[in-house]
Amino acid sequence: MSFAKGKYAKAISDRSGMAFPYNEMVKEWNGALVHISEYEAKQPQLELKVEVADPEALLNSRTDRTEPSVPVVLPFNPFTTVASSQAFVNVFSPGHGRSTGDTVRFRGPTTTGNGSGNTQYASIPSFDGITDINSSSGFTITVGQKNSSGGVVTDTTSDYYHFSSSDTATLGSVSSGNDGCSAGPVTLEA
């Protein structure tokens, strides 16, 4: 089927209703036949965009490393014997975050060492008959503060934990440790 060229034909605009030369007419996006002087492009806001979710993964990402355990510096004189003839020692360590059953090793203040660059720890002096506080195998702790009658005082701030020494206290209620002592894992990693 063939169509005439419409060289002399007229067409009526769907927008204005005026007659224009047929060859100057164009069809809009909505199907309306209009003169080229009346043509309006489709409003960009009418174009539906496909929403794509923001990317969440990173290229060549790495997982978090597991932080090695490190010693925590204890406050001045953190160790207190509970009572005479008892082996329990309370440790004051504000916000320690430890759990009952954790193994903790106590170390004295750091020293300059022998110039090798490695951290050296001084010994914690014996006190009130407790001589094994520098044990290299550490102690299993119980969260809470032990009282002289053998019960555990409720410690809602988690500032205390206690351990049982192989020695017994001579007097009881004696504090020691001086400044710079630390509590941490049995072994230290780099």
Q: What is the pLDDT of residues 19-34, one digit of tens each?
A: 999 999 999 999 999 9
Same domain, 16 and 86: no
Q: Could you give the CA distance from residue 136 to residue 121 in angstroms, rounded to a whole number?
A: 12
The confidence score (pLDDT) of residue 178 equals 82
Q: What are the structure tokens assigned to 82, written together? A: 């509970």
For the chain, the domain total comes to: 2
The confidence score (pLDDT) of residue 74 equals 94
Residue 181: phi and psi, rounded to 5, are -70, 155
Same domain, 88 and 25: no
Q: What are the structure tokens assigned to 115, written together? A: 């110039």
Same domain, 77 and 34: no
The confidence score (pLDDT) of residue 157 equals 57
Q: Please give the DSSP secondary-structure letter assigned to residue 23.
A: G
* pTM of the predicted protein model: 0.62
The confidence score (pLDDT) of residue 190 equals 46
The confidence score (pLDDT) of residue 69 equals 79
| Positions of the chain with pLDDT under 50 | 190
Same domain, 85 and 157: yes
Q: What are the structure tokens assigned to 136, written together? A: 């290299």
The confidence score (pLDDT) of residue 78 equals 94
78 part of a folded domain: yes
Interacting residues of 94 by C-beta distance below 8 A, sequence separation 6+: 75, 157, 159
The confidence score (pLDDT) of residue 156 equals 54
Same domain, 107 and 185: yes
Same domain, 127 and 182: yes
Same domain, 26 and 98: no
Same domain, 148 and 104: yes
Same domain, 111 and 151: yes
Q: Which domain holds residue 141?
A: 71-190
58 part of a folded domain: no
The confidence score (pLDDT) of residue 35 equals 96
The confidence score (pLDDT) of residue 155 equals 59
**How are beta strands 139-143 and 103-107 bridged, if at all?**
antiparallel
Same domain, 95 and 172: yes
Q: Could you give the CA distance from residue 166 to residue 135 in angstroms, rounded to a whole number?
A: 10
Same domain, 23 and 83: no
28 part of a folded domain: yes
Instruction: Please name which of 123, 130, 137, 135 lies closest in space to residue 90, comparing C-alpha atoms.
Output: 130
The confidence score (pLDDT) of residue 112 equals 67
